[in-house]
Amino acid sequence: MKKIGIMTTGGDCSGLNSVINRVVLGATNRGWRVYGIVDGTDGLCMRPANVIEMTPQTIPVELARIAGSFLHNGNACMMNFETAAKTGRMLKFNKMLKDSLATLKLDALVLVGGNGSFSLSYKNSEIYNDLSLVCIPKTIDFDIPLTDKTIGFDTAVNELTRYCDQLLLTARSHHRWFVVQTMGRDCGRLALHAGIAIGADAIIVPEIKFDVDDLVKHINACERDYGIIMVSEGITLRGHSGRPADMISRKLTAAGIQNRAAFPDYIQRAGDTTATDRILAAKMATCALDAIENRETNVMTALRGNECVTVPLSEFYAAGDLVRDPNIPELCTSNAYIEPDDPLLDVATAMNIYIGQTK
């Protein structure tokens, strides 16, 4: 009988409980035992490791739709990769993780995480030498290379869209523009997708240069005197500091455009998991379990069209743009961004949305 572990790491999002539930259901159906690692790698540093045996009743199917993670994603009070790097204890930390996994005697580990977690796993692969490591991509940022979708992205787009739908009603009542700041770090995909969904009049993302004067001209030329200007949190504005939405808002105010900045913040990570994300969770869970059965290791699941496949972590790492992690100086993470030929950019242009200097 196989013993597999599962843990969630990095930022939370909707879909984590769905993928945990689907992994447990699928593994139980194969006659395997499943152990949930609480608080991810942080929980592995506890003595003994913070682990619970899971059954299909641990997260009932009717609760698998809720946001967050039943297993939690980490605990700032414990040692983790960031604190270990800052205090020069990375070797000790890695040894603690390896010793915990050896004590648990797992045959495989399913790691549900983002590009930071995957990059760490690839660069510290010796931790997982004695088991099969299979990673499942989840992130509202959709910044993981080599997969057509990540768990949590669709729900985040829906939550952000609902938020903006309500803002538009008060915007119309007061003849006012709202500058909405989205999450996404240095990737603008969340802003781009939600912006098109709500019919924003402008979408400002980190990947595309923009000119504030051109933005002001575009807003002044609109037939309406209200609407949404979507701004990704990763943008910068030369000579200005502060939150991106506030910076843009001040520029609009100076130009005589009535506006307010709005910050949906963590509600983008919340909300009942959409059907699309639940189906993706089921596909990726099944793909991960198949990979374990086939004795694959150091791979991630990836959606390619309608099919779920596995990709070596080495290919994931090589495929993305490597960016130095601000909290772990010796680590570069592999990142994906909006491509210049993304069809949604043409859609935005056709909708008369100001998207910046695309062509």
CATH at residue 226: 3.40.50.460
CB 176 within 8 A of CB 219: no
Q: Is residue 296 part of a domain?
A: yes
Q: Is residue 329 part of a domain?
A: no
66 and 118, same domain (yes or no): yes
Take residue 58 and report the two structure tokens written for it: 């641990």
114 and 222, same domain (yes or no): no
208 and 195, same domain (yes or no): yes
| Pick from 83-97, 179-193, 209-223: least confident | 83-97
Q: Is residue 333 part of a domain?
A: no
Question: What is residue 159's predicted lDDT score, i.e. its pLDDT?
Answer: 98
171 has a pLDDT exceeding 70: yes
36-50 pLDDT, tens digit per residue, is 999 999 899 888 889
174 and 229, same domain (yes or no): yes
Q: How does residue 280 score in pLDDT terms, banded at 50, 70 and 90?
A: very high
69-109 pLDDT, tens digit per residue, is 999 988 877 777 888 888 888 888 889 899 999 999 999 99
Which residue type sits at 312? P
For the chain, the average pLDDT equals: 95
- 141 classed as catalytic: yes
CA distance 216 to 253: 10
CB 11 within 8 A of CB 139: yes
Among 95, 98, 93, 104, smallest CA distance to 128 is for: 98
119 and 235, same domain (yes or no): no
Question: What is residue 1's predicted lDDT score, i.e. its pLDDT?
Answer: 85
Among 48, 53, 51, 21, smallest CA distance to 39 is for: 51
Give the H or E element holding residue 334.
strand 332-335
Percent helix, strand and coil across the chain, each to the nearest 5: 40, 20, 40
234 and 126, same domain (yes or no): no
Single out the catalytic residue among 12, 39, 42, 141: 141
Q: pTM above 0.85?
A: yes
132 and 225, same domain (yes or no): no
Domain containing 144 equals: 3-152+273-319
Q: Is residue 60 part of a domain?
A: yes
**Per residue, what are the HEC states of 94-134?**
HHHHHHHHHHHCCCEEEEEECHHHHHHHHHCHHHHCCCEEE
Q: Is residue 324 part of a domain?
A: no
99 and 141, same domain (yes or no): yes
Q: Which residue has the higher pLDDT, 238 or 247?
A: 247
Number of structural domains (the chain) is 2
310 strand-pairing partners: 301
Question: What is residue 357's predicted lDDT score, i.e. its pLDDT?
Answer: 87
Question: What is residue 240's predicted lDDT score, i.e. its pLDDT?
Answer: 80
CB 231 within 8 A of CB 180: yes
174 and 312, same domain (yes or no): no
121 has a pLDDT exceeding 70: yes
Domain of residue 15, CATH code: 3.40.50.450
Question: What is residue 265's predicted lDDT score, i.e. its pLDDT?
Answer: 93
Q: Is residue 251 part of a domain?
A: yes
Question: What is residue 47's predicted lDDT score, i.e. its pLDDT?
Answer: 83
Question: What is residue 31's predicted lDDT score, i.e. its pLDDT?
Answer: 97
| Pick from 231-240, 285-294, 346-355: least confident | 231-240
CB 355 within 8 A of CB 203: yes
Q: How does residue 359 score in pLDDT terms, banded at 50, 70 and 90?
A: low
231 and 305, same domain (yes or no): no
Question: What is residue 82's predicted lDDT score, i.e. its pLDDT?
Answer: 83
Q: Is residue 162 part of a domain?
A: yes
37 and 107, same domain (yes or no): yes
Looking up tokens 């803002």, which residue turns up? 167
Alpha helices in the chain (DSSP H): 16-29, 40-44, 81-86, 90-104, 115-123, 153-174, 189-198, 212-221, 244-254, 275-293, 313-319, 343-350
269 has a pLDDT exceeding 90: yes
The percentage of the chain sitting over the pLDDT mark of 90, rounded to a whole number, equals 86
200 and 138, same domain (yes or no): no
Q: Is residue 325 part of a domain?
A: no
